[in-house]
A and B are shown apart, each in its own frame.
Chain A
Amino acid sequence: MLTILFDGVAYGMVLFVLACGLSVTLGLMNFVNLAHGAFAMAGGYVAVTLVNRHDAPFLLTLPLAFLVPAAIGLVLERTLYRHLYTRSHLDQVLFSIGLVFMSVAAVDYVMGSQQQIIRLPGWLQGRIDIAGVGVGRYRAFVILICAALAVTLQVVLARTRFGAQLRAAVDDARVARGLGVEVSRIFALTFAVGSGLAGLGGALGAEILGLDPHFPLKFMIYFLIVVTVGGVSSITGPFLAALLLGIADVAGKYYVPGAGGFVIYTVMIALLILRPHGLFARAR
């Protein structure tokens, strides 16, 4: 039982890292980027390719799994996305679906449609015993990394100048500009970091979530749920939402294999109707 809980926590942690970038772009910048999963997929494929084909050490690939999608994100933001911030949500949806279709087909073409299995180093394989509970080493590793990331993000957003500027830019871009905040630079940087985190999540999650060219479509709804349920007022909301979703999904698949999807989708719809700003959002 505790093992399932543990697996669920690891799953949820990965979901959080995957989705937190989206919670900023969608939640704060109000941009519907359904292609968020494509950046995650990019990170996953970077890691898998380096480890499996070039024998790179797993740990070394993680920074690259962050940097490559971040760079792609930055370029796309500067060239394409930024033209669409003021457009209707429908336009944003169409545009990002277009990107998803392109990325799915391109990855399929280059890498093939099969599921990618990442070769983990020996020290991350197998299980260890913590207080009598069998725990996957890799999952423990993932939890540690993701927890560290979550704390870092919280600190960056709450304590640093960058965080303050981002919050100001999101709150009222015009006023922020008047105060000398370079709004477009902040947005670009945020978008890049969000994409990078998604990539990192994709790399860490390759083992847990699976990785194939349909990744962006398969997990789109999960990211959206994390953001919707978590709300956008802080990092804590999406974090708790991701944990809940992870545990519910893993436990659901284990105990009631029939009902898992129902519960999750129903909860999402109900929340959207009853609490459009998210479960953990404070009423403004």
Chain B
Amino acid sequence: MKPILEVRNIGKKFRLQHQSRGYLSLRERLVSAIRFERNETEDFWALTDVSFDVQQGESIGIIGRNGAGKSTLLKILSKITPPTTGKIISRGRTASLLEVGTGFHPELTGRENIFFNGSLLGMKRKEIKNKFDEIVDFSGVEKFLDTPLKHYSSGMQLRLAFAVAAFLEPEILIIDEVLAVGDAEFQKKCLGKMEDVSKSGRTILFVSHNMAAVQSLCTKSILLKNGKLQFINFSTEVIQEYFNQIEGNLKNHSGILEFNQNNSTKPIKKIEILCDGKNSNTAHMGCQLEIRVHFKTTTYLDAPVLGVIFKDGQGIPMIGVNNKHYAGNIAEHPISEGCISMSIPYLTLFEGVYHTDIHFGNGYSDYEILQDCFEFTVEPLKFASGEIPDKRFNRLFIKEIEWTLDSK
């Protein structure tokens, strides 16, 4: 059987203008035509020579760092922008969901928006009518169906938007990062719905930074790097490769990482990881873990906030903390340069490899986010018995448990 999607040598070139004036204006065009002046342009290939096949019923994840070309690839696959080179042969009805709620109009009521949005996504009027009740049920906004959308809360808008998209029935569904929005429960609901879709034999192309979602939804994945297809294989392996690459140069750190010394827009200058008081990239279960972030900002901060997220090898967050939640404002006076640190008396992570996100900000917005900025290993700890709890049953480590035995 022929593959449902054949992607052959796709490339996309953008022309960068080095005038930084935003929109093209006619005057500039005319003036430069008269002066025989050539705008300084530079060609930028967002994608080069990307080829792959997708079989009917397969779910493919597309991963890569920001700027790797994921969104450009999806835009080409959904016919929004044409490729510069190569071709794609598609053998099915395609619907793309690059954003939830495209075309939602604040003045229209919920009911009207369902029809307009559904039709934009490629549903026929009859289809929408048939599924209308289900859509409304799924969204849970039946009470507000005849209220203009502008009076909806953002959560309600999101639910309604996803509900419409959830009832699409194309043979190929292209989804971009739509799960990045909404609360945890909503995300779970969306993922569940998407799993149903993929189980019903339809083909899904899914872009996400959420490795856990890619892992559970997609059997195969594609890794893009700098516009090139680097690796295509089973998701587990591709995700592993992705993490390896990210940390390739950070893996062998000694517990001290230095950044952006001369970049004033990026405040984080240095990060230190200390285990029991010593700089190290390995910790052991139950040790005292300290993370120090040295920063320098251009303006004074009233309340600096450090956020730290530990994620496991699959990218699933394990612990996420910040000082705003735990201690409130810890600054006695406004500060522009210093070191903010967190110290955990004993580390509750089980043995394994962990990735860390660092957020630094003023409590309202992040000044800098370092995603997966370092990896550290938690070594097992031997108990008095000489044995350790089984890794299969533990993700967290509890240092002290009182065991008692009473005889009757």
Asked if A pairs with B, the answer is no
B: which residues have CB within 8 A of A? none
A: which residues have CB within 8 A of B? none
